[in-house]
């Protein structure tokens, strides 16, 4: 079964400094028909105005993946990341994938320090396999050529193929497609696949999508992507 969710059907919130589209129920947006897909709980497409951001706040028992599209996202947390002497500089740029395991509890902030440009990024939450793990952080860069015309693995339970390691039964792939570039992926019909078109245009198993559109596949054995027009896409392999 293939189910399409158009961009305009998502929840939307305008806080002035933050404009956010919600693929699934989040904060003030609630739709019992869209609470998540499998263990994927949140995809928020956020645009943060210059000189603003999320103040220090807490999370627990969630795998949080940040995927920056434009601008820069400055991150600081209670694990020491983003502070002098911290393990990571705490700035996430386009092509970077940041994984933060909230586990028993972590506090962090996210800011756009630019004086003129907005920060455009995706905030992704995936339910962990186990509650109460130690908080953790990982950040890696995936160059455009690694994603051009193919689906590159960027997050997985075992850190395969250089991906960031998440504590969840889920795999996340990213691809860039334009013109005649195409890709296929064999699917496990007992699992769920969620395709989120970040931007551009693309066909998914023959269905035409535009930026912000998404497709859920259940009981399908094959994924076919093609006819891209400056397309950037994320493909989630999820526990049903």
CA distance 34 to 194: 13
Judge contact between 18 and 55, C-beta under 8 A: no
How many other β-carbons are positioned within 10 Å of the β-carbon of residue 222?
A: 11
| pLDDT of 87 | 72
Mean pLDDT of 54-79: 95
Count Cα neighbours of 201 within 13 Å in the Cβ-side half-sphere: 7
The phi and psi torsions of 157 (rounded to 5 degrees) equal: -65, -25
Return the structure tokens found at 230.
């400056």
CA distance 91 to 153: 22
Q: What DSSP element (H or E) covers 147?
A: helix 144-147
- Domain chopping of the chain, boundaries: 2-238
Tens of pLDDT, residue by residue over 23-48, are 999 999 999 999 999 999 999 999 99
Cα dist from 239 to 110, 128, 157, 165, 182, whole Å: 29, 11, 12, 16, 26
Give yes or no for residue 84 having a pLDDT over 80: no
> pTM, whole model, 2 decimals?
0.96
Mean pLDDT of 62-84: 93
Bridge partners of residue 4, in order along the sequence: 215
- Kindly give, in sequence order, each residue whose CB lies less than 8 Å from that of residue 178, ignoring residues fewer than 6 positions away: 200, 228, 229, 230, 231
Look at residues 91, 16, 6, 89 and name the one whose alpha carbon lies nearest to residue 47: 16
- For the domain made up of 2-238, the CATH class stated in words is mainly beta
Tens of pLDDT, residue by residue over 164-222, are 999 999 999 999 999 999 999 999 999 999 999 999 999 999 999 999 999 999 999 99
């Amino acid at each position: 079964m293939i189910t399409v969710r158009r961009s305009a059907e998502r929840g939307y919130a305008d806080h002035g400094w933050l404009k956010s589209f919600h693929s699934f129920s989040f904060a003030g947006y609630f739709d019992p028909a869209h609470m998540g897909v499998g263990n994927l709980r949140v995809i928020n497409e956020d645009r943060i105005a210059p000189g603003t951001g999320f103040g220090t706040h807490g999370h627990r028992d969630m795998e949080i993946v940040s995927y920056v599209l434009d601008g820069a996202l400055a991150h600081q947390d209670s694990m020491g990341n983003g502070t002098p002497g911290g393990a990571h500089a705490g700035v996430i740029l386009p092509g970077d994938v940041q994984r933060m395991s909230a586990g028993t509890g972590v506090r962090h902030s996210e800011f756009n320090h630019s004086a003129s440009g907005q920060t455009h990024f995706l905030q992704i939450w995936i339910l962990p396999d186990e509650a109460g793990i130690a908080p953790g952080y990982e950040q890696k860069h995936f160059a455009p050529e690694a994603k051009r015309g193919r689906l590159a693995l960027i997050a997985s339970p075992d850190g395969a193929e250089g991906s960031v390691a998440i504590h969840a039964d889920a795999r996340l792939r990213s691809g860039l497609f334009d013109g005649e570039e195409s890709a296929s992926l064999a699917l496990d019909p007992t699992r769920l696949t969620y395709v989120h078109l970040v931007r551009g245009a693309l066909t998914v198993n023959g269905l035409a999508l535009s930026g912000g559109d998404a497709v859920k596949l259940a009981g399908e054995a094959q994924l076919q992507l093609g006819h891209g027009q400056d397309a950037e896409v994320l493909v989630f392999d999820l526990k049903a």
